[in-house]
Amino acid sequence: MASDTLRISEIFFSLQGETRTVGLPTVFVRLTGCPLRCTYCDTDYAFEGGQIMTLGEILDAVAAYKPAYVTVTGGEPLAQPNALPLMTALCDAGYEVSLETGGAMPVEAVDSRVVKVVDLKTPASGELSRNRYENIACLDRKDQIKFVLCNREDYEWARMQIDHYQLADKVDEILFSPSFTELPSRDLADWIIADNLPVRMQLQLHKLIWGEERGR
């Protein structure tokens, strides 16, 4: 692949469904490919296929929506090395840029202006061994750490990571998300309240509005 191209699964305009900017109109640039196979993955269509686009073509496609916010996602965007210059170009264009990464790829080379949303994989994800814990040291206050929880075991494991790595001292936002089809949201809410955890519970707003419709 050429030095200025990426394989893109889709580019679309929607509401941000998660993270600190939930509910805000956002352009999503979804890159093709992922080294992980999480049990609850809802974007397996992005594992392969897509189209080759140059950085210029991607920037033009994003600009057509006139957004304030852009999210680079996947798949796993960092599996494509050119995701790094893409994010820098998006920042240079004046957008507020976030990165959604599964936590198995190094993040130290990501442009410092990008808000990194790093997923720590729980036991029920099936990819616990792929967590790259050294990424935690590369995060600053604006970044976010996300846990997708499938059951009580996942919840207790996540609590241990918060304590062990002192995550509340590293980032302002620790995100707890119930797996859409596995963990009732009320159960997770009750557990967080009972333990007074320093986390933000989030639901996937886009799924509550549009269900599993692609491009939302």
Mean pLDDT of 77-88: 98
For residues 114-123, b (16+ Cβ closer than 10 Å) or e, as one string? bbbbbbbbbe
Which pLDDT band, with edges at 50, 70 and 90, does 190 fall under? very high
Angle at 215 between CA 4 and CA 110, to 5 degrees: 40
* Rg of the chain, C-alpha, whole Å: 17
Does the pLDDT of residue 216 top 80, yes or no?
Answer: no
- Give the pLDDT of residue 206: 75
**What is the C-alpha to C-alpha distance for residues 192 and 36, in angstroms, rounded to an integer?**
28
The β-bridge relationship of strands 96-101 and 69-73 is parallel
Verdict on whether the full-model pTM lies above 0.85: yes
CA-CA-CA-CA dihedral for 148, 104, 127, 36, to nearest 10: 100
Q: Is 53 helix (H, G, I), strand (E, B) or coil?
A: strand
Encode pLDDT of 1-54 as tens digits. 567 899 999 999 999 999 999 999 999 999 999 999 999 988 889 999 999 999
**What is the C-alpha to C-alpha distance for residues 216 and 214, in angstroms, rounded to an integer?**
5
Element (H, E) at 141: none
Encode pLDDT of 92-125 as tens digits. 999 999 999 999 999 999 999 999 999 999 999 9
Residue 63: Cβ within 10 Å count: 13
Structure token digits, residue 166: 């002192």
- Give the pLDDT of residue 2: 60
- For tokens 């990426």, what's the residue? 6
- Give the pLDDT of residue 43: 86
Encode pLDDT of 127-186 as tens digits. 999 999 999 999 999 999 999 999 999 999 999 999 999 999 999 999 999 998 899 999
Contacts of 61 (CB under 8 A, 6+ apart): 11, 53
Structure token digits, residue 138: 């590369």
Domains (range + CATH), the chain: 5-210 (3.20.20.70)
Q: What is the total residue count of the chain?
A: 216
- Give the pLDDT of residue 208: 80
**What is the C-alpha to C-alpha distance for residues 136 and 120, in angstroms, rounded to an integer?**
10
Of 54, 48, 52, nearest in space to 32 by CA: 48
Q: Is 146 helix (H, G, I), strand (E, B) or coil?
A: strand
Does the pLDDT of residue 209 top 90, yes or no?
Answer: no
Encode pLDDT of 84-99 as tens digits. 999 999 999 999 999 9
